[in-house]
Amino acid sequence: MCSSMAFLLTAFVAAPSALALSLPPLIPTIPGVTEPLTSNAPPLPILQIPTPPLESPPFEASNIKPKKIGYFWTASGDNQHKDFLATYSLDDDTFGTLLWITDVPSSGNSPHHLGPSLDGKTLIGGGLLSLLKTQDTAFYFDTTDPYRPTFKKSNRALLSSITDEIRAKPDGGFFITYMGSALGTSPGRLVETDAEFNIIHEWPEDVNGLLNVLGEQFSPHGLTIDFEKNIILTSDFVVPLSILKPSLGIQRANTLRLWDLPSRQIISTIEIPDGGGIQDVKFIPGNPEGAALATAVHLGQVWIIYPFRKDGNGKQGVAKLLYDLGPKARDTVAIYSDITTDGKFAYFTLTTADHIAALDISDLDNVKRLDDPDEDQPTIGPHYIKVTPDQRHIVVTDYFVQTGDIGLINTPADYKALYIDILDDGSLSFNRSIEFQREFANRGGAKPHSVVVFDFTDPENPIYY
């Protein structure tokens, strides 16, 4: 190995353990000056002027105490007012009642995924485009009072950016996929925080792992962890910088990484040929082989990953086609998923096909489709999907990504949160929705990207998902 490469790897491995770099806006808030400065700032190629946010308009809170609460991580429609967490009732009798709004101290983050800690006292939301204004990329909310969340802190990683999927650690803290490097290129990282939500590692940190992610595209988006079987799967989606202008075209990946959980080391790279972006991966609850479902966006297919099987060359981790979602699922920009806790039913949002697919996966050798692929569903741009803790509904947010004039991805959306019933056979019945554009017209509308649901139906056994 040449001396320069050895130095580079040493620098990566010896990166400091505390990597939180929470910084204020580069341009301070100035009363009477901030507003015209923000509204008149011209768009720049890729990087944006780091102007402070406009203060949020007042809102009317509710004092009700519903048993089911939905937290929606939301962008202000004008990208100038503060981004925010919107807290709503999901109870039948008070559905769609706004309980509270919790602002973050920045705008233009393009709020992305949201996840809860295991004890339900903290939520973390990532910013997809925070990097463009040199802002923190992860935002933490205190939900000790679940009806009045407060902003806790924000931070950013040193080597990576573009916060994506989130999984809580049993001992506190989170694992988070950061899809890009600090500049939005490949490689990204699997980021780990401690129980105080300080960034302590950006994996991989071993030499073999670094050679792996430097040698081929590593843009981790999907993330699933089996803490009993001690394995992690991450799925590679797109190089973030490639979706922004100027671009030679979006760089999509065909790979997943299988990790050893105790050592945080990559065991193997698993390929889905011509997958064209493996956006999501999730372990199937209760599967005896620890199998997972992965979505291949270009192909419009669902693949099954067997992490403990070995291929003909003895490499651990095997991918097999499980189900083709049909021609309308091809190249739909995004396919995100969720699975019921009994492992019987799986649901998939096909973003630019304006469709939500449902599969009965109780028999993996005889998968049954439960939706009509030709049905016109009342959804535009569905993306993030969560099965509610009681397993009786799914919540879907009708917004994926809009980069505006600076990017190549601008998906249609109606900016709704859909509340959809799961019938006894696993099929779906569209029910109610919350219309964010109308609710937040005083900040140019609102773009809800993701949701977490708290269920206090059994006060002794609350569920945070």
Condensed to tens digits (0 to 9), the pLDDT of residues 367-408 reads: 999 999 999 999 999 999 999 999 999 999 999 999 998 899
- Per-residue pLDDT, averaged over 281-292, amounts to 98
Please give the residue that has the higher pLDDT: either 443 or 21.
Answer: 443
CB 35 within 8 A of CB 27: no
pLDDT value at residue 44: 46
- Measure Cα distances from 278 to 250, 256, 355, 396, 408 in Å: 14, 7, 19, 20, 18
Q: What is the pLDDT of residue 49?
A: 74
pLDDT score, position 17: 42
Give the mean model confidence (pLDDT) for residues 1-16. 40
pLDDT band at 419 (very low <50, low <70, confident <90, very high): very high
CA distance 29 to 51: 8
pLDDT band at residue 16 using 50, 70 and 90 as cut-offs = very low
15 has a pLDDT exceeding 60: no
Q: Mean of the per-residue pLDDT values for the chain?
A: 92
State the pLDDT confidence band at 39, using cuts at 50, 70 and 90.
Answer: low
Tell me the average pLDDT across 13-22: 45
pLDDT in tens, 49-68: 778 899 999 999 999 999 99
pLDDT at 4 over 90: no
Residue 165, CA distances (Å) to 124, 212, 390, 436, 454 in order: 10, 21, 22, 23, 18
Instruction: List, for residues 82-110, the tens digit of each pLDDT value.
Output: 999 999 999 999 999 999 999 999 999 99
Query: Could you tell me how far CA 403 lies from the centroid of its own chain?
Result: 16
Report the pLDDT value the prediction gives residue 442, as an integer from 0 to 100: 94
pLDDT interval class at 9 (50, 70, 90): very low
Residue 150 in this model has a pLDDT that exceeds 60: yes
Number of CB atoms found within 10 A of residue 153's CB: 17
Report d(CA 168, CA 119) in Å as an integer.
9
Q: pTM of the prediction?
A: 0.91
What is the tens place of the pLDDT at every residue in 327-339?
A: 999 999 999 999 9
Domain limits, the chain: 13-464
Is it true that domain 13-464 has CATH number 2.130.10.10?
A: yes
**What residues form DSSP beta bridges with 89?**
69
